[in-house]
């Protein structure tokens, strides 16, 4: 399965809905999307990963890159994920300390108000 | 003992194929369903790293080789990047073992983890891991218990 990306605005936040597999082949598309949003002036991002089937370290690197970019503008990047196999990768790499990870988009929006 | 060998040009689009093949062979070898996600992720990380080793190397058409072996009660995966490199020293291995970044200092570790997390993920996933480098290329070898009987227990 390839990568699917869609964006919308909700509660003053930009939601990036990601689906499919994020790996060394597809991660550059996600990077382009995040860079584009930041270049458009959207600095408060929520990446919804509920439809992600696979995530590797390349994908993690892209998310970290996105975090660095929004932080440079006093922004934020939060994640939505409840899938244990995806959460495990964040735990292994210690990135649960870096990203706020929420169970739903609604909770992510509420927590950043 | 049964061996499956996969060779592919060092291109990102082939890493998914390697993951799928490894998971299929692991399942057939009797690796527990609960471990298959780890196998898929670990082989993907090793292959992504191998593909990365070929970046910026002009006229480099040596393939990445993935060898899957379910002998002796273990399912093992060996990924050879095919890029000749200096032999790893004990010191180098020790440094590699410390690749899981310390994120307690906010921000300072982000540059490191943005670029080099593949080995950290493999180290976190795989108990039986061997990383070597030499004139024949860099090799990452990993193994998990399989459902296959070892030579000692058969019969």
The whole-angstrom separation of Cα B22 and Cα B44 is: 9
The whole-angstrom separation of Cα B143 and Cα B37 is: 14
Whole-number pLDDT of residue B9: 95
Cβ neighbourhood burial of B88 (10 Å; 0-12, 13-18, 19+): middle
Q: What is the pLDDT of residues A38-54, one digit of tens each?
A: 999 999 999 999 999 99
Whole-number pLDDT of residue B20: 96
CB atoms within 10 A of CB A88: 17
Residue A82 touches partner B, C-beta closer than 8 Å: no
Which residues fall within 8 angstroms of residue A73, CB to CB, at 6 or more apart? Answer: A38, A43
Query: DSSP class of residue A25?
Result: T
Residue from the list B48, B102, B125 with its beta carbon closest to the beta carbon of A23: B48
CA-nearest residue to A86 within chain B is B37
| Reported ipTM | 0.90
Q: What is the pLDDT of residues A6-42, one digit of tens each?
A: 999 998 899 999 999 999 999 999 999 999 999 999 9
> What is the mean pLDDT of each successive set of 10 residues along chain B, which is 155 residues long?
90 96 94 93 95 82 94 92 79 50 48 69 92 90 82 47
Q: Which residues pair with A4 in a beta bridge?
A: A19
Residue A94 touches partner B, C-beta closer than 8 Å: yes
- A100's tokens: 């706020």
Residue from the list A24, A56, A65 with its beta carbon closest to the beta carbon of B114: A65
Residue B103 touches partner A, C-beta closer than 8 Å: yes
Which of residues 18 through 77 in chain A touch B, CB cutoff 8 A? 21, 23-25, 54, 56-58, 60-61, 64-65, 67-68, 71
Question: How many CA atoms lie less than 13 Å away from B70 in the CB half-sphere?
Answer: 16
Q: Do A57 and B117 touch (CB under 8 A)?
A: yes
| Domain spanning A3-111, CATH class | alpha beta
Residue A97 touches partner B, C-beta closer than 8 Å: yes
The whole-angstrom separation of Cα A81 and Cα B37 is: 17
Q: What is the pLDDT of residues B55-95, one digit of tens each?
A: 877 777 889 999 999 988 899 999 999 998 887 666 555 55
Preferred mutation among A24, A70, A98 to probe B, highest tally of B CBs within 10 A: A24
Rounded to a whole number, what is the distance in Å from the CA of A54 to chain B's nearest CA? 8
Q: Which residues pair with A7 in a beta bridge?
A: A16
Residue B20 touches partner A, C-beta closer than 8 Å: no
CA-nearest residue to B44 within chain A is A56
Q: Which helix (H) or strand (E) holds B138?
A: strand B137-145
pTM of the model: 0.86
Residue B45 touches partner A, C-beta closer than 8 Å: yes
Which of residues 60 through 79 in chain B touch A, CB cutoff 8 A? none
């Amino acid at each position: 399965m390839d990568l699917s990306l869609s964006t919308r605005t909700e509660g003053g936040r930009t939601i990036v809905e990601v689906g499919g597999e994020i790996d060394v082949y597809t991660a550059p598309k996600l990077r382009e999307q995040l860079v584009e949003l930041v270049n458009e002036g959207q600095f408060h991002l929520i990446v919804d990963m509920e439809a992600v089937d696979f995530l590797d370290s390349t994908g993690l690197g892209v998310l970290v890159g996105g975090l660095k970019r929004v932080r440079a503008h006093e922004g934020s990047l939060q994640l939505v994920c409840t899938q244990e196999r995806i959460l495990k990768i964040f735990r292994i790499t210690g990135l649960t300390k870096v990203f706020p990870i929420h169970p739903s988009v609604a909770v992510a929006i509420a927590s950043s108000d | 003992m049964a061996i499956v060998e996969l060779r592919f040009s060092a291109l990102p689009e082939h890493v998914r194929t390697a993951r799928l093949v490894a998971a299929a062979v692991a399942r057939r070898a009797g690796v527990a369903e609960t471990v298959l996600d780890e196998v898929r992720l670990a082989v993907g990380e090793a292959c992504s790293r191998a593909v990365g080793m070929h970046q910026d190397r002009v006229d480099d058409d040596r393939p990445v080789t993935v060898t899957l072996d379910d002998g002796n009660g273990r399912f093992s995966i060996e990924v050879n990047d095919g890029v000749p490199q200096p032999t790893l020293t004990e010191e180098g291995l020790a440094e590699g073992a410390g690749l899981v970044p310390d994120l307690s200092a906010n921000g300072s570790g982000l540059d490191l983890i943005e670029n080099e997390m593949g080995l950290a993920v493999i180290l976190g996933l795989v108990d039986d891991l061997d990383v070597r480098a030499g004139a024949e290329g860099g090799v990452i070898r990993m193994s998990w218990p399989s459902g296959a009987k070892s030579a000692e227990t058969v019969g």
